[in-house]
Amino acid sequence: MGCAECRALRIYRNVDTLQRIVGVDIDRQSLVDHASRLFPSASDYLFRRSRPLTVELYNGSLADYDERLQSVEAVTLIEVLVCCVLLPYKIALMKL
């Protein structure tokens, strides 16, 4: 959650025990712009993983149920808490 720039996902690719990585962000354009960071590099072909890896990117929100994530076993939140903390203040300001 909150993976638009795909930096953390790129790090997770190096964890050999992971077989599936799913990134979700509300900013679709940012996902599109940064998805190439997750393409295999030359070193990925030289140093093969012991298990295959699948990387998926989804446009979505932490606040909305998404059945595509039902089989996900762990979740990390990146730059999400800032939005959640500020949201009540934004709502309050909109009422003024």
Please name every residue paired with 59 in a beta bridge, in sequence order, or none if there are none.
25
- Residue 91 pLDDT greater than 50, yes or no: no
* 78 three-class SS: coil
CA 59-82-89 angle, 5° bins? 110
Q: Which whole number is the average pLDDT over 90-96?
A: 49
pTM, rounded to two decimals: 0.72
> Could you report the per-residue pLDDT of 37-89, keeping only the tens digit for each?
888 888 888 988 888 999 999 998 877 888 998 888 888 877 665 555 555 54
Locate 93 and state its tokens. Answer: 């300001």
State the SS3 of 52-69: CCEEEEEECCCCCCCHHH
Instruction: For residue 21, give every residue at least 6 positions away whose Cβ sits within 8 Å of its Cβ, in sequence order, or none.
Output: 9, 12, 13, 53, 54, 55, 56
What would the pLDDT profile of 15-27 be if each residue is shown by its tens digit? 889 999 998 988 8
